Structure 1
């Protein structure tokens, strides 16, 4: 187990996570603002889970935390961290099953990851989202991120240009409650 909160375990992915991972990644509402196109077959999810499990959270590159409910051990989402080669900054992203959204799990998980990153000495964490993804933008602001910009028609995604919001959080400007 890597990180723990009162309700959640943030851990390395395991082979038996593939069916649950496939299920929430295959939900069109969950995938709407993401780079993949549903459905995500279990076999494809199993390959991704295997790659996630082999990653190292202390090394540059992406590491995906599997987010599990302590109460029942159910996989409800993931938080990804792309650690920069300088080990002083990272990008952050998150995905949660539709039926687990709106319960504070994402806020709890993202805060735990941020606590860990800043405790390891990171100076900056960045995030971005589609301007239409209001819930993700609000979550980022809730945990202390500052909106740093808007890039109109910045990303070509699923047959359309999308406007992207950019966010940043500096270690020395992080609100105490975040």
Structure 2
């Protein structure tokens, strides 16, 4: 376990996560605004889980947290963090299984990751999302991010140009919410 909340455990991925990872990342509704194209085979999911497991959340680069429900040990999603080389800034992204959306799990997981990052002395966390992804934008604003800009027709993905909405959160604007470390 790397981080935990009242309902969640955020931990390293392991090969046994492959079936659940393949299932939620193969869902077209989950993949709609993401960089990958479904389906994700179980073989590819094993390789992806192994790749995710090798990261170090305290080192520059991407680290992917597996988000597990404390109650039943079910993998329900992931939160990715790209720590900058200066270890003072990071980028954040998240994915949650469609059947687990709307229960506050993504909000709880993101708050736990933010509490950890700001607790380690980071100055800024950034995020971006497809402008059509209203649910992700609401989540980011709910946890304290501020909308900082719009990049029209910025990303070419899945055969179309999409607008990107940019968000940022400074350490001095961070307020831990209920259920987070320090909250």
- What does residue 134 of structure 1 align with? 134
Superimposed CA distance per residue, residues 117-153 of structure 1 (whole angstroms, 9 cap, x where no aligned partner): 0000000000000000000000000000000000100
Between the aligned partners of 2:59 and 2:166, the Cα distance in structure 1 is: 24
Alignment of 1:163-178 (within 5 A): 163-175=163-175, 177=177
- What does residue 181 of structure 2 align with? none
- What does residue 108 of structure 2 align with? 108
Structure 1, gaps ≥5 residues long: none
- What does residue 119 of structure 2 align with? 119
- What does residue 84 of structure 1 align with? 84
| Pairwise CA RMSD | 0.9
Secondary structure, counterpart of 2:44 in structure 1: helix
Between the aligned partners of 2:176 and 2:69, the Cα distance in structure 1 is: 26
Secondary structure, counterpart of 2:117 in structure 1: helix
How many residue pairs get matched?
Answer: 178
Between the aligned partners of 1:3 and 1:40, the Cα distance in structure 2 is: 27
Shift of 1:175: 3.5
Secondary structure, counterpart of 1:73 in structure 2: coil
TM-score for the superposition, normalised by structure 2 = 0.96
Counterparts in 2 of 1:80 and 1:176: CA distance versus 1, 3 Å: closer
Shift of 1:72: 0.4
Between the aligned partners of 1:2 and 1:147, the Cα distance in structure 2 is: 29
Between the aligned partners of 1:99 and 1:157, the Cα distance in structure 2 is: 25
Structure 2, gaps ≥5 residues long: 179-183
- What does residue 49 of structure 1 align with? 49
Does structure 1 conserve the Cα–Cα contact (< 8 Å) formed by 2:62 and 2:81? yes
Shift of 1:173: 1.8
Between the aligned partners of 2:175 and 2:112, the Cα distance in structure 1 is: 14
Between the aligned partners of 2:176 and 2:79, the Cα distance in structure 1 is: 22
Between the aligned partners of 1:96 and 1:153, the Cα distance in structure 2 is: 25
Between the aligned partners of 1:175 and 1:63, the Cα distance in structure 2 is: 23
- What does residue 28 of structure 2 align with? 28
Superimposed CA distance per residue, residues 73-127 of structure 1 (whole angstroms, 9 cap, x where no aligned partner): 0000000000000000000000000000000000000000000000000000000
TM-score for the superposition, normalised by structure 1 = 0.98
Secondary structure, counterpart of 1:43 in structure 2: helix
Secondary structure, counterpart of 2:106 in structure 1: helix
